[in-house]
Amino acid sequence: MKVAGLGAVTAKSELGAAGVPGLGAVSAKSEVGASEVAGLGAVTAKNAVGAAEVAGLGAVTAKSELGAAGVPGLGAVSAKSEVGASEVAGLGAVTAKNAVGAAEVAGLGAVTAKSEVGAEEVADYGAVTAKNAVGAAEVAGLGAVTAKSELGAAGVPGLGAVSAKSVVRAQRRGCKRGKRGCSAV
């Protein structure tokens, strides 16, 4: 299976690693499907880890499912149920208890959510936090994101801090004070 320089591969049931160069360690108790993974530090999962085209991944940990595709320079990704990180560059830390979907996220400081994280096209966030749903996609230089129910921030450059208890929607032209659906702290 085109596996070069594999440090350690451990699995109790099935491990399918194809085209994985310079893999540090891959361990799983059920299934690990790592495809085209380059420079992976550590991949650990109790159920299923599907890491495809992941370059320079520091640590990837999940208890049920982790699907990381096209993620360069990922610092740490951990989740208890599902982590779907796609095209994430320079991610500091991504943590969620249910589901974290981070796509095309660059230079993310910290993203934490208890259920879902989905933040789209957010640039230079000071702090964003959510307990229910944060969808962060194409997020660059995100310090921290926090919201209690839902946060939908799209194309918001230079935002200091965004926190919402229900829904925050910032459109692509940036967040201006007093604009509906936008709260800059």
Burial class (CB in 10 A: 0-12, 13-18, 19+), 176: exposed
Split at pLDDT 50, 70, 90, the class of 97 is very low
Residue 31's contacts (CB-CB under 8 Å, 6 or more residues apart) are 11, 13, 14, 15, 16, 47, 48, 49
pLDDT-derived band at 48 (thresholds 50, 70, 90) equals very low
With cut-offs at 50, 70 and 90, classify the pLDDT of residue 80: very low
Q: Which distant-in-sequence residues (6+ apart) come within 8 Å of 178 by Cβ?
A: none
pLDDT given for residue 10 in this prediction: 41
Quote the mean pLDDT of the chain.
40
For residue 104, what are the β-bridge partners? Answer: none
Residue 55, pLDDT score: 42
Domain ranges of the chain: 1-69, 87-185
Tell me what pLDDT residue 143 has.
Answer: 39
The answer to whether the CB of 102 falls within 8 A of the CB of 136 is yes
What does the radius of gyration of the chain's CA atoms come to, in whole angstroms? 17
**Mean pLDDT of the 152-170 span:** 38
Under the banding of pLDDT at 50, 70 and 90, the label for residue 20 is very low
Where residue 160 falls among pLDDT bands split at 50, 70, 90? very low
Q: Across residues 37-44, what is the average pLDDT?
A: 45
The pLDDT assigned to 157 comes to 39
Confidence of residue 147 (pLDDT cuts 50, 70, 90): very low
pTM of the model: 0.22
Mean pLDDT for 90-110 is: 40
